[in-house]
Amino acid sequence: MQNQAPHEQVASQGDWPILPPFKTGIRGRCPRCGVGRLFDGFLKLRPGCDHCGLGYGFADPADGPAFFVLCFACIPAVTIAMLIEIRFSPPFWVHLVTSLPFLLLTCIPPLRPLKGWLICSQYFFRAREGRLSPGTPAGPE
């Protein structure tokens, strides 16, 4: 079983179809059945799937969604705001009308699909916390 691809390992756990993490994650669906909901609210994770009963205790995306949003949305949004300031030196209210809505629209909506994708990827690839095997040393000697 160790030589199988990750999607083959997941498929062998039962009669569940192999669902790609991107497809189920961005829709906020259960990584196992693709039907149940992943979220209870905007970003709060449900305790488990209401359709197949999969517990979401394995899920820990940590700061992954926020990191991706910072890299791919916040930096360009702040750069545009700075260019507006440097080029035009507008009054403060102009930034409230242009830069702030642009920043909010590029940073908040992607959080939920990214979090769902990371959680579904953890299930699909069977990601776990790293552990040392009993026979290996704990660090460099």
Whether 133 is in a domain gets the answer no
- CA-based nearest residue to 108, from 55, 58, 42: 42
Whether 71 is in a domain gets the answer yes
Cα dihedral sign, 15-20-21-22 = negative
Phi, psi of 42 (to 5 degrees): -75, -55
What's the pLDDT score for residue 93?
96
Whether 88 is in a domain gets the answer yes
| Interval 15-36: pLDDT, tens | 888 999 999 999 999 999 999 9
Whether 63 is in a domain gets the answer yes
How many domains does the chain divide into? 1
What's the pLDDT score for residue 128?
81
Average pLDDT for 39-49: 95
Whether 120 is in a domain gets the answer yes
Whether 141 is in a domain gets the answer no
Grade residue 129 by pLDDT with cuts at 50, 70 and 90.
Answer: confident
Whether 132 is in a domain gets the answer no
Torsion of CA 26, 29, 31, 34, to 10 degrees: -120
Q: How much of the chain, in percent, has pLDDT values that exceed 70?
A: 85
pTM: 0.79
Structural domain of residue 16, as residue ranges? Answer: 6-124
Helix 75-88 to helix 99-107 angle, to the nearest 10 degrees? 170
Whether 134 is in a domain gets the answer no
